[in-house]
Chains A and B, each alone.
Chain A
């Protein structure tokens, strides 16, 4: 018979998975809403954020209870600590998706800027990273998590490209300054998503191997 503690650990895992699924959907929808000027979809993302916030609180509560009452050791301890960290990152990613969605609402009321391939690529990269890191958590696979860390450089490069292209655009088209700034914010949000995703990958590696690769400390 599975112990009560193991059932609770599984419940913690399920909450993280639900949070991850909702965050992934929010990010995907926010990018789509921005690029396709879909206000309804953007508002759906904004409304959905509360549920993700509540799940973060659930993770906190359950983790704290397990730490206090079960005094977990070894991989169980690492799993719980890792889940607490991952929940924080997921909640931030969801906030960034809301930010992107808000820019989407703003932009939809103004004339469109020319398509920006780097920005679209950045959105795809951030989403890929999030999906891969969720898979690595589900499979508790450190190699997959390491792949995510390596993808972060691509996201950084794309963000720089977006920034450069929009600066050029602003110089040429003064009336586009406000929309360009909004788009730079979106790019910055997506680049932050990639960073938070990398943090999740580091937590997965910590859970699986027990090593802390943050800031190259081990």
Chain B
């Protein structure tokens, strides 16, 4: 099995006449955590959303170049977007549980994928909650509203919901930025655990977080990829001046 899980080649992305990404070529290896960093507006979140075609939902956008998932072009006409998003799951900045029970939140993806076997669903819900390191905290209140959980628990619930459909790649857009330090630490530990089974790509504004959780870090600036390197190298001896200025806070 190839180590390469996903790869973008010469990816350009436009919002109408504005080019938000230029010639991004970046590879993601299996069971690795890759962090995307850069100042606001640098294109890192836009790039993340290209990886499961979330940008398709925004009118007036256009993509050039290719993104391969296990060698298949995700923008090819025969690619089913629903299947793609099942394989490439996403966790957002703010926890967004549905106004349903804890159980139904996690079961949601299975139900929309027409799974009817309740035993199977219950098993998958438990497995996902365990993987998201939430099971012990919610097992007694599975049938209560998810909105009663704390912010950190809600975010782990969203991760469990993403895991329930057994994705291969997990995209995380600032998953801990709305959480307190303890909840953040739990999410970071969880990321380390999850990488054993998934390929993880995380956007973060918190450089210390990128340094702590990722194996590889990519630095974006004004829609271009400036540098991609092992996280240790990027934060201790980056190759390019722009990266150095950004990570040392001398930007602009």
Contact = CB atoms under 8 A, between A and B. Distances in A.
B248 A210 contact: no
Interface string A188-218: 0000000000000000000001110000000
A79 to B, nearest CB: 10
A23 B211 CA distance: 38
A71 B236 CA distance: 12
A78 B237 contact: yes
A211 to B, nearest CB: 8
Nearest to A77: B236
**Dominant secondary structure at the B interface:** helix
A11 interface: no
Given A210-B236, A210-B237, A74 B244 contact: yes
Interface residues of B, number: 13
A73 B247 contact: yes
A77 B234 CA distance: 12
B249 A5 contact: yes
Contacts of B249: 3, 5, 73
Interface in A63-102: 71-78
Nearest to A81: B236
Instruction: Name, among A6, A73, A75, A210, the residue most crowded by chain B CB atoms within 10 Å (CB to CB).
Output: A73
A16 to B, nearest CB: 19
B207 A73 contact: yes
B235 interface: yes
Contact of B248 (A73, A209, A211): A73
A71 B248 contact: no
A74 B208 contact: no
B65 interface: no
A76 B207 CA distance: 14
B237 A74 contact: yes
A77 B233 CA distance: 12
Interface string B191-224: 0000000000000000110010000000000000
Contacts of B207: 73
A210 B244 CA distance: 12
A75 B244 contact: yes
Contacts of B235: 73-74, 77
A123 B155 CA distance: 66
Interface of B: 207-208, 211, 235-238, 243-244, 247-250
Interface of A: 3, 5-6, 71-78, 209-211
Given A75-B248, A78-B237, A210-B236, 10 more contacts: A6-B250, A73-B207, A73-B247, A73-B248, A73-B249, A74-B236, A77-B236, A78-B236, A210-B237, A211-B237
6 contacts: A73-B247, A74-B248, A76-B248, A78-B237, A209-B237, A210-B236
Query: Which 7 pairs across A and B sit closest by C-beta, in order of nearness?
Result: A210-B237, A73-B247, A76-B248, A74-B247, A73-B235, A74-B244, A74-B248
